Amino acid sequence: MPQGGIMGAKIKIRELFRGTFGAIAQNGNIISESVDLRDLYTDGNFSLHMINTGGTVTVTLLVCSTVNGTFIEPSTPVVILNAKAAGSHFEAFTAPTAGFVKFKFTETNVAPVTAMDAWLNYQ
């Protein structure tokens, strides 16, 4: 079996935001569409790749048991990236046990983010 994974498992990539669709106002936030975790391997490997221009971005997870329910921050917040300045960032994280997640990107009081690309990588 390959190190750290399921035999034959491939890395999948899901685009969350691209270019100006990832723009965030100063002190504002944007939230991704929901990501269905129900059919992923329970010990799935997750990482987030983000490229942002301007501002400083913190990325947290919101969770819900249903796709159209109310997404909330878990009682123990899941902070994936914390106050990252403009540039390219890549961070592995552990997803909480939840059926669905959304990614919340928050500009932390520096300057507007004029564009941002973000991808979820998982196995």
The domain that holds 22 is classified in CATH as 2.60.120.380
**90/47 Cα distance (integer angstroms):** 7
Q: Which tokens hold the place of 95?
A: 């997803």
In a domain, 31, yes or no: yes
Within-domain flag for 111 = yes
H or E element at residue 107: strand 100-107
Range of the domain at 91: 18-122
Q: So what's the pLDDT on residue 41?
A: 62
Number of domains comprising the chain? 1
Assign 102 to helix, strand or coil: strand
In a domain, 26, yes or no: yes
Question: Which ranges of the chain have pLDDT less than 50?
Answer: 1-2
User: What is the pLDDT, as a whole number, of residue 1?
Assistant: 42
Inside any domain, residue 117: yes
The answer to whether residue 7 sits within a structural domain is no
Does 2 reside within a domain?
no
Residue 45, pLDDT score: 86
